[in-house]
Amino acid sequence: YPAISNLYFFGDYCSGRIGTVDSSGNLQDYGTFSGSWVSFGEDINKELYIIDIGGSIYKITAGPLIGTEDFSMGNTLSLLPNPASTNVSFILNGSNIQTIQMYDIGGRIVISEENISNNEKTISVSNLNSGIYFAKITLEKGQTAVKKLIVQ
């Protein structure tokens, strides 16, 4: 893909943001990746891929990342409290949450809530072991985002 040649691709694991820098130092922010990415890779045809924690592989093209329709969370999505020990509330301003999937650090789904159709949802995490989890939130329009949750 000539449109992505000579670009340095980067990802910030903590924020989930992905972007590029060209040889002139121009930064292009592609937003938040909907999965919990762990690595970039290149195939024998010099095509670029991103791999998420669940083992899914996404091809990076000159357009947006395949398989992602992220929404800009800004301060509109909250997980409270974080860290949590018994319950965590997902609160979204301006849209309704459709599904919430909680993944453990190994990429396994440990909690799945569907057909929420509300802007708030409280989930019990009391049965989860202490550790880091990732919550994938999907809106009614199909947009997704991933937030990190610490369970104590």
Distance between CA 52 and CA 47 in Å, rounded? Answer: 17
CA 83, CA 88: separation in Å to the nearest integer? 9
What the chain holds in terms of domains, given with CATH numbers, is 2-60 (no CATH), 77-151 (2.60.40.1220)
Q: Which pTM does this prediction carry?
A: 0.55
> What would the pLDDT profile of 22-42 be if each residue is shown by its tens digit?
777 777 766 666 566 777 777
The predicted structure's pLDDT at residue 144: 76
The predicted-structure confidence for 56-89, as pLDDT tens digits, reads as follows 676 666 543 333 344 454 447 888 998 999 999 9
Q: Output the six-digit token pair for 91.
A: 């609160």
Q: Is the pLDDT of residue 55 over 80?
A: no
| Average pLDDT over every residue of 85-100 | 91
